[in-house]
């Protein structure tokens, strides 16, 4: 364990760690492999114990990478749509896209902000925002604000979870505990956000029902399909994405 701690400490203090992190956060915005918040949490916890990596540079790297990755997904959605790659055509992914499309029409600003905290949710929202021609300038501003809060939240979780005195002599263990804490908290936040969006959807239905009166059977079926509960991957659960450049 001592050797591993020293090796990780050495790597965390090298200049090249930041370009690698930048690429990782960038790719996470449009082709998520492992939720990047877990990496921020772990490194923040490690920084509290050892002083490396620098928290300010880590935060700036995560922020720039996240914003760039989200906007790349937006541009890909505008250019290639939602069925170009095989992973996009999977039934579960299509359900997430349908959910994002419905929510963007109802409450775009709220969705772009909250989806940043849901790995699969944010990827879907970024693509769908581009496909539906959501104003790019507005998307950029909302996404940048969401990314700022997301970076602060992730670093804060790492610092909080690693603050116990018993962990001061073992930075690696502190980082591991911080990641577990982030996973548990992430699952809770994920379920709360899904419940909130579902509740808002029901409220919209009640309001529209009062205005339009009775719905036809076809309309009820279409609405039920749109408002179906979408199983979004929890905040810190890895989801392997298979990206293919051919149909």
Q: Is residue 141 part of a domain?
A: yes
* Structural domain of 176: 2-226
Q: Is residue 234 part of a domain?
A: no
Q: Is residue 132 part of a domain?
A: yes
pLDDT digits (tens, 9 = 90+) for 167-222: 555 656 666 666 676 677 767 766 776 676 667 666 555 555 555 554 555 555 55
Q: Is residue 16 part of a domain?
A: yes
Q: Is residue 13 part of a domain?
A: yes
Q: Is residue 52 part of a domain?
A: yes
Q: Is residue 231 part of a domain?
A: no
pLDDT digits (tens, 9 = 90+) for 99-157: 777 777 777 788 888 888 877 778 888 888 888 878 899 999 999 999 999 999 899 98
- pLDDT value of residue 59: 95
CA pair distance 166, 16, nearest whole angstrom: 30
Nearest in space to 110 (alpha carbons), one of 200, 177, 31: 200
Q: Is residue 175 part of a domain?
A: yes
Nearest in space to 144 (alpha carbons), one of 69, 208, 39: 69
- pLDDT value of residue 243: 37
CB-based burial of residue 237 (10 Å sphere; 0-12 exposed, 13-18 middle, 19+ buried)?
Answer: middle
What sign does the dihedral 66-67-68-72 (CA atoms) show?
positive
Number of domains, the chain:
1
């Amino acid at each position: 364990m001592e050797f591993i701690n020293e090796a990780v400490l050495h790597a965390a203090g090298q200049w090249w760690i930041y370009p690698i992190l930048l690429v990782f956060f960038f790719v996470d915005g449009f082709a998520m492999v492992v939720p990047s918040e877990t990496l921020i949490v772990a490194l923040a916890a490690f920084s509290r114990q050892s002083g490396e990596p620098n928290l300010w540079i880590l935060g700036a790297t995560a922020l720039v990478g996240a914003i760039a990755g989200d906007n790349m997904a937006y541009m890909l959605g505008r250019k290639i749509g939602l069925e170009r790659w095989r992973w996009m055509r999977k039934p579960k992914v299509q359900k997430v896209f349908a959910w994002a499309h419905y929510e963007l029409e109802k409450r775009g600003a709220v969705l772009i902000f909250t989806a940043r905290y849901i790995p699969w949710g944010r990827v879907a929202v970024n693509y769908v925002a581009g496909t539906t021609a959501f104003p790019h300038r507005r998307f950029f501003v909302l996404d940048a604000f969401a990314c700022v809060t997301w970076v602060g939240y992730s670093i804060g979780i790492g610092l909080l979870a690693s603050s116990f005195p018993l962990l001061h002599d073992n930075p690696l263990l502190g980082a591991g505990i911080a990641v577990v804490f982030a996973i548990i908290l992430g699952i809770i936040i994920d379920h709360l956000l899904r419940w909130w969006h579902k509740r808002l959807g029901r409220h919209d239905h009640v309001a529209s029902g009062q205005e339009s009166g009775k719905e036809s059977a076809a309309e009820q079926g279409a609405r039920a399909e749109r408002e179906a509960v979408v199983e979004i991957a929890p905040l810190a659960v890895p989801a392997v994405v298979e990206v293919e450049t051919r149909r």
